[in-house]
Structure 1
Amino acid sequence: MLQITPTVFIPDAELSERFIRAPGPGGQNVNKVASAVQLRFDAAGSSALPEDVRRRLVQLAGRRADQDGVITIEAHRFRERERNREDARERLAGLIRQALHRPKRRIATKPTRASRERRLQAKQVQSRLKQQRRRPSDD
């Protein structure tokens, strides 16, 4: 069971792990030992998370999520299989914690009169500077 918060957890039945050979340098050992882990979690079909959290999670996962809402996390930072397994699980838990946080709704505001005037004043100053850089005309 993957504990996310004191009240939210993901059952092991919803996670699938596959051990693969790690990419990159490592000598002879890297070609023989499957120490990297590929953790898959079906976020769209998970019963442990509410609907809004599932949508945010798939959106946060970005390219790690496929069209069906399955999130794949690959971990190959460490040489040991168990440490890579813990790393992948912790990264998934971090992603879910982020999705659990509901973003604040943005309230549209209008710029103040003073800020509009400052902006226009700055544009006039910039315009004068550019006019002074121009080559004088032959009038």
Structure 2
Amino acid sequence: MDAIRLLPELTYQFARSGGAGGQNVNKVATKAELRFSVRDSALLTDAERAILFEKLASKLTGEGELVLTHQTERTQLGNREKVTRKFLRLIEKAFETPKPRRPTRPSRAAVEERRTDKRLRSTLKTNRRRVDPGE
């Protein structure tokens, strides 16, 4: 799935943000907030929408909207670019299919080494026990 095709449906809002910038922080709205409505997107298929609802459930609002923010840069443009990149990475990761795990078995040498270590540990603990003089 190509996440770039979703860019026309993104909306941005800007607000004043904390962080670097000195007194400039108090007067310039540089914090970028990106909004993308998964529920109302015309560019997503039903299958894609279902995948996003499942994978991004913790990041979606009650209305099915994804909200991301970024505020580390000192300019609106910088924060807008960063939040857009964050969105694209998130969408790409949501549609990634995990590589199937191939089951493996421990090698004979590894099994033997584990057993040897267990034997040594066992004898060490046995030797620590007090000998009861009544026996």
TM-score normalised according to structure 1 size: 0.69
1:37/1:81 contact within 8 Å kept: yes
In structure 2, the partner of 1:87 is 82
- Whether 1:66 aligns to 2:65 is no
In structure 2, the partner of 1:99 is 94
CA distance in 1, matches of 2:131, 2:50: 61
2:20/2:74 contact within 8 Å kept: no
Unaligned runs of 5+ in 2: none
1:8/1:48 contact within 8 Å kept: no
Q: Of residues 7, 10, 16 in structure 1, which corresponds to 2:6?
A: 10
Superposition RMSD in Å: 3.3
1:60/1:95 contact within 8 Å kept: no
Q: Which amino acid aligns with 2:81?
A: E
In structure 2, the partner of 1:41 is 36
Q: Which amino acid aligns with 1:31?
A: N
2:60/2:67 contact within 8 Å kept: yes
Q: Which amino acid aligns with 1:104?
A: K
Task: Count how many residue pairs are aligned between Structure 1 and Structure 2.
Answer: 132
CA distance in 1, matches of 2:13, 2:82: 14
2:4/2:88 contact within 8 Å kept: no
Q: Which has the larger Rg?
A: 2
Measured against aligned partners, the alpha-carbon deviations of 1:89-125 in whole angstroms (never above 9, x if no partner) come to 1111111222232112335x36358355544443333
CA distance in 1, matches of 2:120, 2:22: 63
- Whether 1:136 aligns to 2:134 is no
Identity %: 31
1:125–1:42 Cα change, 3 Å: farther
- Whether 1:111 aligns to 2:105 is yes
CA distance in 1, matches of 2:116, 2:51: 42
